[in-house]
Amino acid sequence: MNIIVCLDNNNGMLFNKRRQSRDRELILRIKELTEGHRLWMNAYSARLFGDDVFVADDFIAEAGTGDYCFIENTPIPTDSIEQIIIYHWNREYPSDTYFDLDISGMKLISRYEFKGYSHDTITEEIYEQQKI
């Protein structure tokens, strides 16, 4: 599966069980990136996306090879990951839940910046599992 997360400047993901931020341009970008694939998430995240997404409480268990999982408030899996797509808000937000997955063994294969609706610059980084 492919993991999608959004992080602030301190690798923060949540504060007080709530997302730090959102951006409508980012949603469009994720839909574009995942077009033709299944995009999984839980009900909390689905409110951002509307239709055309697969929603389940245990969506990570449901996701198969090639599927995408948009993760906000659930633990990040440590195995079966093909790619990790990180969106950096390039902003400071309060945080009490952090992205702590070690991605040092993965390879950065793509980096792309775009303007958000409420964010000056959002950076997309795609990391891929190294082939052994």
| Least spacing, CB of residue 88 vs another protein, in Å | 14
Strand 97-98 vs strand 12-15: parallel, antiparallel, or unpaired? antiparallel
Stretch that binds another protein, among 34-42, 50-58, 111-119, 124-132 (CB under 8 A): 111-119
- Region 16-35 residues binding another protein, contact defined as CB under 8 A: 16, 18-24
Nearer Cβ to another protein (20/34): 20
The alpha carbons of the chain give a radius of gyration, in whole angstroms, of: 14
| Least spacing, CB of residue 22 vs another protein, in Å | 5
**Residue 94 touches another protein, criterion: CB under 8 A:** yes
Nearer Cβ to another protein (47/107): 47
Instruction: Name which position in 76, 93, 103, 114 contacts another protein (CB under 8 A).
Output: 93
| Least spacing, CB of residue 9 vs another protein, in Å | 9
**Residue 118 touches another protein, criterion: CB under 8 A:** yes
Q: Determine the straight-line distance between the first and last CA of the chain, rounded to whole angstroms.
A: 18
Residues that bind another protein (CB under 8 A): 8, 15-16, 18-24, 91-94, 117-119
